[in-house]
Amino acid sequence: MSIEIITTVIVLITATTAAVTDLRWGKVPNWLTIPALVGGVLIGTLATGTVGLLMSLAGVGLAMVLWIVTLALGGLLGGGDIKLLAALGALKGPRFLICVLVISIGIGGLMAVITALRHRVLGTSLQRLFRGLASAFVRQIPTQIGNESGALRLPYAAAIAAGTVVGLVYWRM
């Protein structure tokens, strides 16, 4: 069995499990993401030596940069989401992670609109978003979907998992 197949299976299992746990319990657990991240670095290193190690670390590094950016924007993603992205980057490298990120952003945006519509808070959520974007010196961009009674949670690992599947299909083409 090739390394490509092994990493693809691990990526699918990790992303799917993360989506399920996030949807069910609102959390992406460390017992899932940390072994996948470490395994990705080890597999990359064992498969292609220094090049594999550097590609895996570049994937992890890209996820860490994303974490810093999301913190600066008010914590758009949770820690579990970032660790999931780091694991995917370790397993498949930074180019694949960029592909997953682009697709996940689109899917996550669609999920946010559907969630806001379901809970009848789309207008309020869009007003918050546009108010935040209109001000160039906003300290914290409003990132939550909701109304005055409280924010709704968006299980973003589901968007990442969907982006991963689409990314794997795209990667094969």
Residue for token pair 């299992």: 13
Tokens of 54: 């550097």
The share of the chain scoring above pLDDT 70, in percent, equals 82
Where along the chain do its domains lie? 3-172
Tokens of 156: 């973003």
**Which sign does the torsion angle of CA 131, 133, 135, 137 carry?**
positive
**How many Cα atoms are found within 13 Å in the side-chain-facing hemisphere of 18?**
35
Task: Report pTM.
Answer: 0.83
Average pLDDT value for residue range 104-119: 85
5-15: pLDDT as tens digits: 999 999 999 99
Judged against a pLDDT cut of 60, whether residue 93 lies above it is answered with yes
Tokens of 32: 């899932």
Position 119 scores a pLDDT of 74
> Alpha-carbon distance 48 to 38, whole Å?
16
Main-chain dihedrals φ then ψ at residue 93, nearest 5 degrees: 90, 170
Average pLDDT value for residue range 27-38: 97
Position 125 scores a pLDDT of 64
116-150: pLDDT as tens digits: 787 777 777 666 666 665 554 545 544 555 544 45
**Residue with the larger pLDDT of the pair 75 and 58:** 58
Position 136 scores a pLDDT of 45
Judged against a pLDDT cut of 90, whether residue 163 lies above it is answered with yes
Position 120 scores a pLDDT of 76
Position 72 scores a pLDDT of 78
